[in-house]
Structure 1
Amino acid sequence: MVILNPEMDERQVAPNLDKFLKVITNDGGTIDNVDIWGRRRLAYEIQKKTEGIYAVVNFTATSDATQELDRQLKLNESIMRTKVLRAEEAIAMVAAEKVRADEKAARKAARPAKAKQDA
């Protein structure tokens, strides 16, 4: 995942990412999917900015190519944050987040039922 500076034009995001992703393809890796989420509100300020442009890239590459990609992303001033995860870790994180969301929805649904019982 990459969070880019919100001052960047959203049409420039894909070409900008392609420059970095050449590290992966030049090393024999593959880019499986590039999903640009667009401008989103940040959970907390980063570099005095409250928004960022999110992009999620799924790729297959060697460890060395992944480290080089991460290094180059961190050196670029238009990149505010990066997070590289193995696919297994990302799937586990998504599953855990879904469980939390389901539990929260169940608690929320149970509140009105409890209020009716108390009345």
Structure 2
Amino acid sequence: MRHYEITLIVHPDQSAQVGTMMDKYKEIINADGGKIHKEEDWGRKHLAYPIKKIYKAHYLMMNIECDQEMLDKLNYNFRFNDAILRSLIISKNKAITTPSIMMVNKDKEKGKS
């Protein structure tokens, strides 16, 4: 099995359903023997450019380990889910379990407040 980093940009109107959406994808991954090494919810962020006249979106990131068949199934689900504006799947050499830069910055901002 290979390691992947998946980043999703979700429509801001669907932010309330992010939890159930992630549970659905976790279920798909775990059902076929895959593993989730890290899952992060980056929250709402401004987009670099508008997508479908939307200027803010909800960002999610997962590091998973799965086979190609499961990855194809996930990608298929991402494409036909209207709530997902964009998805990015990157192949990684190993599992990454440390917090991403986005989460480290978020923790620093909380510490300053």
Instruction: State if a TM-score over 0.5 links the two structures.
Output: yes
Q: Is the 8 A contact 2:8 2:84 kept in 1?
A: yes
Tell me how far apart the structure 1 counterparts of residues 51 and 10 of structure 2 sit (CA, whole Å). 11
Q: Which has the larger radius of gyration?
A: 1
Count of residue pairs brought into register by the alignment: 88
Partner of 2:63: 58
In structure 1, the gaps of 5 or more residues are 92-119
Tell me how far apart the structure 2 counterparts of residues 9 and 49 of structure 1 sit (CA, whole Å). 14
1:4 to 10, 17, 23: 10
Tell me how far apart the structure 2 counterparts of residues 40 and 34 of structure 1 sit (CA, whole Å). 17
Higher strand share: 2
Tell me how far apart the structure 1 counterparts of residues 83 and 40 of structure 2 sit (CA, whole Å). 18
* Amino acid corresponding to residue 9 of structure 1 in structure 2: S
Q: What is the TM-score normalised by the length of structure 2?
A: 0.72
In structure 2, the gaps of 5 or more residues are 1-6, 97-113
**Which contiguous aligned blocks of 4+ residues in structure 1 show a shift greater than 3 angstroms?**
none
The CA deviation at 1:21 is 2.6
Tell me how far apart the structure 1 counterparts of residues 81 and 64 of structure 2 sit (CA, whole Å). 20
Task: Render the CA deviation track for 1:45-71: whole Å, top value 9, x for unaligned.
Answer: 111101110000111000110111011
Q: Is the 8 A contact 1:21 1:69 kept in 2?
A: no
Q: Is the 8 A contact 1:20 1:73 kept in 2?
A: no
Higher relative contact order (CA 8 A, sep 6+): 2
Partner of 1:33: 38
What's the secondary structure of 1:76's corresponding residue?
coil
Higher helix share: 1
The answer to whether residue 20 in structure 2 is matched with residue 18 in structure 1 is no
